[in-house]
Amino acid sequence: MEELIKNLGLVINATLIATPPLLYAALGSTFSERSGVINIGIEGMMTIGAFVGAAVAHFTSNAWLAFLCGGLVGALFGLIHAIACVSFGADQTISGTAINFLAPGVAIFVCKSLFEQSSNTPPLDTAQKLPKLFNGVFEVGSFWNNVLNTYVATYLAFVAVAIVWFIFYKTRFGMRLRAVGEHPKACETQGISVFRIRYIAVIASGFFAGLGGAYVTLCTVSQFRPEVIVGQGFIAIAAVIFGKFTPHGAMGACLLFGLCNGLKVLLGSGNVISPNLISMIPYVVTIITLVLFVGKSRVPAANGKPYFKQK
Amino acid sequence: MNKTSHIDPNVVAVQMTEIVKKFGNFVANDHINLTVYKGEVHAILGENGAGKSTLMNILYGLYKPTSGSISIFGSPVNIENPRHAIELGIGMVHQHFMLVEPFTVTENIILGMEPTKGMVVDIEKARRKVKELSERYGMHVDPDAKIEDISVGMQQRVEILKVLYRGANILILDEPTASLTPQEIEELINIIHNLTADGKTVILITHKLKEIKASADRCTIIRQGKYINTVDVETVSEHDLASMMVGRDVQFVVDKKPIEPGEVIIDIQDLHAKDYRGVEVLRGLNLKVRRGEIVGLAGVDGNGQTELVEILTGLRKGESGKVIIGDKDLFNADAHTLFDNGVSSIPADRQKHGLVLEYSVAYNLVLQNYEKPPFSKRGILKKDVIKKHAAELVGKFDIRGAEGGTKEAGKLSGGNQQKVIIAREVTNDKDLLIAVNPTRGLDVGAIEFVHRYIVEQRNKNKAVLLVSFELDEIMSLSDRIEVIYNGNIVGSVPGDQADEKVLGLMMAGGTKNETED
Amino acid sequence: MKQKINHNNMASQNIIKNKVQGLIYQNALYTIIAIFFGFLVGGIFLWSAGFSPLEAYAKLFSSVFSRPKYLVWSVIYATPLVFTGLSVAFSYKMGVFNIGAEGQFVVGSLAALCVGILVDAPPVLHVLLCMLAAIAAGMAWSFLVAVLRVRFGINEVLSFIMFNWIAFYLSNYVINTEIIHKVGGGEASKDIRESARILLPQSVQNIFKSDKANYGILLAIIAAVGIWFILTKTTFGYRVQAVGLNPHAAKYGGINSNKTMYIAMSLSGALAALGGAVQLMGNSMRISQFAGQEGFGFQGITVALIASSHPIGCIFSGLFYGAMKYGGSKLNLIDAPTEVVDIIMGTIVLFIAISHVFRYLITRRLKNKEDK
């Protein structure tokens, strides 16, 4: 019994570590997708957010500043995506793919420049990382320590879900955002600037993606390596589609995917099931779910189509 | 008909004076004058392309007039854009709704003008106002219903509420009864009366005579961009209105040798279909076309012609019915099968359906036949044969700018693009040719060319179904004219006995009986 | 009479020449501008990191061109990219963005590996079997996505991305199985048998001074010519492009777009998978455990875009990218980050994506002037 509780604690712990990067990125993605702009460049934005977070933390030892900077650089690439797709009407998938080249390229380039040709940043010590809540309160290795003694940024991620939910469903901006993703022409005729809303949404998606990346280097891995972001961005996109483009739905899906990671830690260590097979689960589950629930995932009607203002 | 009028003849709500609107060389509005009184229901009547929509778009600020002036309640104004029009109290309800499907009625109405309480949208306040407006004008709208769940008639009321919410005093309704059931039309007319009773002014853009008689006080008729007349609706009959709407001389005389029509090539029975909104658009249509005859399908756009043709060419599925070609029922057959069984068409939208613009003229000329000999053999295209075929057709049909067939179809002028399609379909030489608005956007020379070939097919004992919004064209070419209205054939007239007044009447929903004085 | 015919022939030849020139002029212009901007942005990054862009670019250039051996390596690097480029280009002609080339490449590589290790066969036959296995895997991989789109309406971009990652983890899993795994530790599979390799004979290798000189590039060129032939000369190609250019007119003309999509996407998948097979059989000889996606599929997108989706153009843009990759790998010799190549390529893609709009706007303005 004790073994079971201990394992449960470990799984929850692993889940709570794997979920926030996905969740931040997924929240960002909901902004973009709901406004009608596909953003598959999230992977790249997370990568550069991860790098900038680690680098700023190294130089300033101020983890929260580093976290914020990670978000800002993500927002910068979000701006690039917005300019290409909203103002120039470029194919959104191509633009996203270009950013998946550019952002990691820039990240590693700058990393090598700053850190003597190493594509890793120096490891951060605990003081430079983001703080944990309830540190030292519980006994190390106990169930409650595993579950509650996790990073503040983790709790913040779930708070962010509530905030984004509020914005989407209670504020003016949220209502207009959702309308723009469904019927941009109707919005334009009621005096709403489709361009402006999409710009804000896409930049926000970059910001959140950057935060998600920074979380990984400032909490979990404690340094930037080129492989810290391997697929999380794409899983986040899947989570959003899974969660029917809502913040709460995305949260559920991210927890599910995070759980897969938790299981990987538990099962993989005992070599019961190959970690590679477990890693496949989120992707296979996504496809199966989409097949079974076809038509029920309501994509915003104007998703993916550039909006050209009628003169 | 008992109708209380709420006109206040002392107050002119809208005055449009000598409005001219040109698009390049095309004159859409030619010195039109319009006077609308406060509290009036004023209808603007005209055929497709007559210029009524253009005129109202000017009033709503979507276009600027080339010349002329506008006054609203006595003050001269320059209406810059729709937002300005809204500020002046002018609201427009478009024919194609601008509604966000998953949103509720209330959310759609307040979008862009949402009341707030701090940071939060004050939905309660909005609901109350929507309910109040709805009750005041007898609209019975549920503020919490989602757009995707309510009927088309209800959706229209939401559009009207949108306009009222923003304080409109002058409402422009563009073809408001287009997709409504008779019941919903009655309800709409009631709402319009409630609006005018409250001092609002309503302008109706329409071609439906019954509704004009039932709801309007006065009616302005526009024909080919020109102002014809303004009448008191009570004092005129549907016949008079129709007459003013279409009346013009038949211009083209075409050489049709007398032929006795032969066997029935296509027999359409009890055809039912729905449009993209799920509204029934063909309500049990029956139609036959025989060899050696041109059947002209006359009607105003939006009465089911588009959907009918799409079903006959395999681009759309119908709900039920029979389409008998030869001895087979090809209802809901695909394009390929229909073509192989003798149906070819000149599509309404040549650039969307008829041509692949980036392909050369030569490639376009074999669009249905590229897989068959002599144009290909065992999967390999025989380019020399295709080229030769193209050169031949370019010469024979005088397709200008095609450079022997090598030029991209998209680079040809509209008339020449149409010639490509005509060349192709005439050469395909199928038993049934469906020609939809074949001369749209063409100059007189090209029109003559198109007509010549259509008649030639008929003279060669082929069957032709001509679907056109141009009554001229129908009357000059058809051996028999069928009139489509509201998804049914409402009348059939032999070509040589056609009278445009009678036809106009049928096209607008009137019946033959009403012509008898 | 004869004179008149000759005159007509000449006139039509001129017309054709002008037309061809016109087309290429249009596409190439924007591509060159995009490449220029790519190098410009890369140069800015280099300069701000303290390197002389000219020095770095000179090094890049010389790393490729100064010795025949380097050219050979560039070609070796280019080979898989030509295949993935073709895959994306062909798919694009039908209006489908094959972002799944990455996964198709991986499964192709994996299938070839399994046949290359487990099956014992004489050299030519063995190579053929490996390639067939790769083709089958690639076709299946993209056919599934086509089914998901046609039958279930699932957006293919999402499916492709999911399948990319499934392939990635599948590869890692398979090479860790006992029969495939390298004997004696190490994070890789066994090497494929000699009979499954597509290396050039020893004598030729000596001339090129490269032990990985392989005839994969010949296969790539054959594939490119084949795809070009299919697109321009066959009825299938007519169908594919009609569906891509105007699905409405295609339907009107009686073309079955679903059937076309199934076949075309399968062919696309096969091409990317062949790229994986060729890379394995000509260069890497084994598959390693990967921490992240290698990127051949995504690089193929760049190749296709630079070539404006023209099959023969993919050969050249593939060579360009291959040279950039190889030359870029030598940049660390002067302490410059090799990632500048990613930055340059990413910028090029971005600019090409935007340039389509410029072209549309400019040609539309010209057409308006013409119509007046």
Nearest CA in chain B to A311: B62
Q: Which residue has the higher pLDDT, C158 or A161?
A: A161
pLDDT tens figures, A75-109: 999 999 999 999 988 889 889 999 999 999 999 99
pLDDT of amino acid B482? 94
pLDDT of amino acid C367? 58
Residues of chain A below pLDDT 50: 296, 310-311
Asked whether residue C19 carries a pLDDT value surpassing 90, the answer given is: no
**Complex-level ipTM:** 0.83
Q: Which of residues 287-346 of B touch C (CB under 8 A)?
A: 313-315, 334-336, 339
Matching residue, tokens 């489509």 = B484
CA distance to partner chain B, nearest, from residue C81 (Å)? 28
Cβ atoms within 10 Å, residue C334: 14
Asked whether residue B251 carries a pLDDT value surpassing 50, the answer given is: no
CA distance to partner chain B, nearest, from residue C242 (Å)? 7
Asked whether residue C78 carries a pLDDT value surpassing 90, the answer given is: yes
| pLDDT class of B252 with cuts at 50, 70, 90 | very low
Contact C163 A283 (CB under 8 A): yes
* pTM reported for the whole predicted model: 0.83
Q: Which residues of A touch C159 (CB under 8 A)?
A: 287
Contact B370 C238 (CB under 8 A): yes
pLDDT of amino acid A199? 96
Contact A171 B99 (CB under 8 A): no
Nearest CA in chain B to C254: B336
Asked whether residue C368 carries a pLDDT value surpassing 70, the answer given is: no
Say how many Å lie between the first and final Cα of chain A, rounded: 70
Contact B111 A185 (CB under 8 A): no
Q: Which residues of B touch A300 (CB under 8 A)?
A: none
Contact B231, B261 (CB under 8 A): no
CA distance to partner chain C, nearest, from residue B37 (Å)? 41
pLDDT tens figures, B451-483: 889 999 999 999 999 998 878 788 889 999 999
Asked whether residue C344 carries a pLDDT value surpassing 90, the answer given is: yes
pLDDT of amino acid C233? 93
Cβ atoms within 10 Å, residue B444: 10
pLDDT of amino acid A142? 75
Q: Which residues of B touch C251 (CB under 8 A)?
A: 314-315, 335, 353
Mean pLDDT of chain B, nearest integer: 87
Contact A84 C354 (CB under 8 A): yes
Nearest CB to C291: which of A38, A227, A237? A227
Q: Which residues of A touch C152 (CB under 8 A)?
A: 290-291, 294
* Tokens encoding C307: 């070539």
CA distance to partner chain A, nearest, from residue C49 (Å)? 6
Of B59-63, B442-446, C251-255, C354-358, the poorest mean pLDDT is in B442-446
pLDDT of amino acid A46? 96
| pLDDT class of C18 with cuts at 50, 70, 90 | low
Asked whether residue C10 carries a pLDDT value surpassing 70, the answer given is: no
Contact C91, C272 (CB under 8 A): no
| pLDDT class of B179 with cuts at 50, 70, 90 | low
Average pLDDT over every residue of C85-99: 94
User: In angstroms, rounded to a whole number, what is the distance separating the alpha carbons of residues B98 and B105?
Assistant: 12
User: In angstroms, rounded to a whole number, what is the distance separating the alpha carbons of residues C221 and C237?
Assistant: 19
Amino acid found at C228: W
**CB-based burial, B159-193: b 16+ in 10 Å, e otherwise:** bbbbbbbbebbbbbbbbbbbbbeeebbebbbebbb
Q: How far is CA C62 from CA C65, C71, C77, C328, C353, in A?
A: 5, 10, 16, 11, 30
Q: Which of C48, C84, C157, C344 is the best substitution to test chain A (most A C-beta atoms within 10 A)?
A: C157
pLDDT of amino acid C24? 52
User: In angstroms, rounded to a whole number, what is the distance separating the alpha carbons of residues A146 and A13?
Assistant: 5
A6 touches chain B (CB under 8 A): no
Contact B121 A192 (CB under 8 A): no
Nearest CA in chain B to C363: B411
Contact B367 C242 (CB under 8 A): yes
Average pLDDT over every residue of B313-326: 92
| pLDDT class of C26 with cuts at 50, 70, 90 | low
Residues 6+ apart with CB under 8 A from B327: none
Nearest CB to C234: which of B335, B356, B381? B381
Nearest CB to C235: which of B334, B352, B370? B370
pLDDT tens figures, B266-287: 999 999 999 877 888 999 999 9
* Tokens encoding B287: 């139609």
The angle subtended at Cα B228 by Cα B224 and Cα B230, nearest 5°, is: 135
pLDDT tens figures, C43-59: 999 888 888 888 888 88
A185 touches chain B (CB under 8 A): yes
Q: Which residue has the higher pLDDT, A137 or B349?
A: B349
Asked whether residue B174 carries a pLDDT value surpassing 80, the answer given is: yes
Matching residue, tokens 């993605």 = A29
CA distance to partner chain C, nearest, from residue A297 (Å)? 10
Residue B343 DSSP one-character state: E
Percent residues over pLDDT 70 in chain B:
95
Q: Which residues of C touch A299 (CB under 8 A)?
A: 155
CA distance to partner chain A, nearest, from residue C299 (Å)? 9
Average pLDDT over every residue of C333-354: 88
